[in-house]
Structure 1
Amino acid sequence: MANIQDVAKHAGVSIATVSRVLNGTARVNAEVSARVHAAIEELQYQPSRAARALRANRSTIIGLLISDIQNPFFTTLIRGVEDVAQRNGYSLILCNSDEDPQKEQHYIEVLSAERVAGVIIVPIRENQRTLRLFREREIPVVSVDRRIKDSATDAILVDNKRGAHEAITHLITNGYRRIAIITGPMTTTTGRERLEGYRQALQDAGIAYDPALELCGTFKDDSGRQLAIELLGLQSPIDALFVCNNLMMMGVLDALTARHLRIPDDIAIVGFDEMPWAALSTISLTTVTQPVYELGSTAAMRLFQRMQHPGTFTRQEIVLAPTLQIRSSSRPRMHPASTTVNLTSR
């Protein structure tokens, strides 16, 4: 790959002259400028993005660090971020931590070194001391989907507690009592808040919660499968199961299929996160759906506010409302139903 020295040699000029032509920082003889542009084209020279940003004291790249690129949830979130970035003339660097603290730290260092204009992060832990790298280089940060314990970092979230509360209340109303939950890690606000909503709904209905029915996974499909097997092996059977993300739901459905259990005749199921197949007649899965595109686009818009007016905003937390899509996987025994309940108020 050609560098600026190669261009200068090919054009028969100094490196400083090539730099002046590229940056337009000084007048250059038209014939010399033409030779430099011809050399750039012939050698297919691409100026360093980082060098351009440093020279202009401005980058047109924002970073997006997500926690699991295999999760369809993030496909839609990425689109929301990208659409806003494109409209503002910015490009996106996508990084995937895979719920791994070391990978997350690595990508934080990479984005910081690239001196991106701003960063949107789905943190794998609530406590994020590593964000100091961004703060030291005055790179604005917005967290999305999960909260960070940081007085300066904006957060764009969904009301997880409300969504879980509504899901469990729906199951209780339909006659289910032994309701188990498979949620995510307690180090994430999503995992913890969905458990809180589950417990609150049971308490509101006068049902004592049983610790044996509360299992925490990794938000991965194999975790859902193993925890479902554990719950199905309890001496006192469960009659309903609330699964707190779409990948764990895939594992749960595998476990139920292996046991030849019928939904909802043998066990009722409610998920958190919509899946493309959720409304199919063979499954017809009740889910708490999230406004995922709006999560991404709102996070991006907030980041651009931070970038354009640094230091003029106090920390903001924006919480979006989920929606319970009621389908046949949680229906009452004698009263099948399919309707939509908006959770904008409780």
Structure 2
Amino acid sequence: MASIKDVAAEAGVSVATVSRVLNDHPSVSADARTRVLAAVETLGYRPNAVARSLRTDQTRTLGLVISDVLNPYFTELARSVEEEARALGYSVIIGNADERPDLQDHHVRTLLDRRIDGLLVSPTDGGSPLMLDAARAGTPMVFVDRWIPGVEVPVVRSDGQAAVRDLVTHLHRLGHRRLAIIAGPAATTTGRERVDAFRAALREHGLDLPDAYTGQGDFQAESGRRVTEGFLDLAEPPEVIFAADNLMALGALDAVRARGLRVPDDIALAAFDDIRWFVHTDPPVTAIAQPTGALGRAAVRALVDRIEGRPGESVTLPARLVVRRSCGEPGPSPSPSPVRRSTS
């Protein structure tokens, strides 16, 4: 592997000149810069990233702590973050909190110890003093999807309130009146917001949300299964179950099928956080879709702005309702049978 001394010898300049060219120093002549860059290309030289970070106090590395890597929403979010970071010249180290505050803080602490330039976090709850301390210490940080009230950093998220209202209106038009929700953790901003939006939308149509129709989940499939079993055991089960994330919706679907029931004939199902799988279920699931890719890209840009001394701005993007057939929506009309012509 070529060294910086090899590049200097090939270009006929000093090691200091090579260093200045690689660090884009303005004091190098155009001729020397051209020769150094040609030597770098010829020798295939790659600067030592660790040594450079010690000189510049930058690692060109971002940390991303997501709530659950098995959740397709966060998988897609992480992919868009990595793609945008790479386009801007940064690498990403990812930590999976698995919806556990202790594991979240472990990853945050580890990433800060590794001298990342900035941190993207989707918090598992709102009570982490570590995040508050990091923000107060001046660590460039951005919250994505979820946030912690009182921690003054940019937040990049989607607003699902209008989409939830659209969903409830859609269900009301289909004739549904008994609507239940599988809520996410109350310790998360998204968990609280989605329940509040659902309850407010019901009130607009003169409907209540009884305690019996509110089940506490944890954004995991098993909790969706457990809460749905409780709904089905009621003397008057709900007509519709709205799961506040995709994994809980899949758990709900499992519970319905385990009882020998069918969606939407026996009970309807809708979900927050649309995923690609929902078009392949039978029936396809009506869901609220977040602009996941756009959120990831916007979060990276906001973080890089803060790293590079520009004011990073909060961004809120709208979610939207995607209507399919899991709530009793009319399906496509069957194709007419071909008319057989008589051969006689």
TM-score by length of 2: 0.79
When the two structures are aligned, how many residues end up with a matched partner?
A: 295
How many Å apart are 1:128 and its aligned residue?
3.6
Whether the aligned pair in 2 keeps the contact of 1:128 and 1:149 (CA below 8 Å) is no
Given the alignment of the two structures, is residue 325 of structure 1 paired with residue 322 of structure 2, yes or no?
yes
Whether the aligned pair in 2 keeps the contact of 1:231 and 1:238 (CA below 8 Å) is yes
How many Å apart are 1:108 and its aligned residue?
1.2
Letter in 2 for 1:282: D
Partner of 2:84: 84
How many Å apart are 1:53 and its aligned residue?
2.0
How many Å apart are 1:137 and its aligned residue?
5.1
| 1:98-177 aligned within 5 A | 98-135=98-135, 138-177=138-177
Structure 2 CA distance for aligned equivalents of residues 85 and 210 of structure 1: 45
Letter in 2 for 1:245: D
Structure 1 CA distance for aligned equivalents of residues 153 and 97 of structure 2: 19
How many Å apart are 1:172 and its aligned residue?
1.4
Structure 2 CA distance for aligned equivalents of residues 323 and 329 of structure 1: 17
SS at match of 2:192: helix
**Which aligned segments of 4 or more residues in structure 1 are displaced greater than 4 angstroms?**
335-338
Q: In the TM superposition, what whole-angstrom CA distance separates every residue of 1:57-80 from its partner, at most 9, and x where no partner exists?
A: 112100000010111111211121
How many Å apart are 1:24 and its aligned residue?
4.7
Whether the aligned pair in 2 keeps the contact of 1:67 and 1:123 (CA below 8 Å) is yes
Whether the aligned pair in 2 keeps the contact of 1:142 and 1:154 (CA below 8 Å) is yes
Q: In the TM superposition, what whole-angstrom CA distance separates every residue of 1:154-183 from its partner, at most 9, and x where no partner exists?
A: 001111332222222211121101111001
Q: Tell me: CA distance 1:164–1:337, structure 2 relative to 1, closer, same or farther (3 Å).
A: farther
How many Å apart are 1:152 and its aligned residue?
2.2
Whether the aligned pair in 2 keeps the contact of 1:112 and 1:133 (CA below 8 Å) is no
Q: Tell me: CA distance 1:337–1:330, structure 2 relative to 1, closer, same or farther (3 Å).
A: farther
Structure 2 CA distance for aligned equivalents of residues 52 and 106 of structure 1: 27
| 1:39-78 aligned within 5 A | 49=50, 52-78=52-78
| 1:1-346 aligned within 5 A | 24=19, 49=50, 52-135=52-135, 138-280=138-280, 282-310=282-310, 313=311, 316-331=313-328, 335-336=330-331
SS at match of 1:330: coil
Whether the aligned pair in 1 keeps the contact of 2:270 and 2:286 (CA below 8 Å) is yes
SS at match of 2:58: coil
SS at match of 1:278: helix
Q: In the TM superposition, what whole-angstrom CA distance separates every residue of 1:310-334 from its partner, at most 9, and x where no partner exists?
A: 5xx3x743211111111111135xx
Q: In the TM superposition, what whole-angstrom CA distance separates every residue of 1:258-291 from its partner, at most 9, and x where no partner exists?
A: 1111111111111111222312372211011111
How many Å apart are 1:308 and its aligned residue?
1.3
Partner of 1:7: none
Whether the aligned pair in 1 keeps the contact of 2:265 and 2:328 (CA below 8 Å) is no
What is the CA RMSD across the aligned residues, in angstroms? 2.5
Q: Tell me: CA distance 1:195–1:136, structure 2 relative to 1, closer, same or farther (3 Å).
A: closer
Structure 1 CA distance for aligned equivalents of residues 62 and 298 of structure 2: 15
SS at match of 1:215: strand
Q: In the TM superposition, what whole-angstrom CA distance separates every residue of 1:188-246 from its partner, at most 9, and x where no partner exists?
A: 11111110111011100011221110112110011111111011111112111101111
Sequence identity of aligned pairs in percent?
Answer: 35
How many Å apart are 1:93 and its aligned residue?
0.4
Structure 2 CA distance for aligned equivalents of residues 187 and 90 of structure 1: 32
Gaps of 5+ in 2: 1-14, 21-46, 334-344
Structure 2 CA distance for aligned equivalents of residues 243 and 252 of structure 1: 8
Whether the aligned pair in 1 keeps the contact of 2:224 and 2:250 (CA below 8 Å) is yes
SS at match of 1:158: strand
Gaps of 5+ in 1: 1-19, 26-45, 339-346
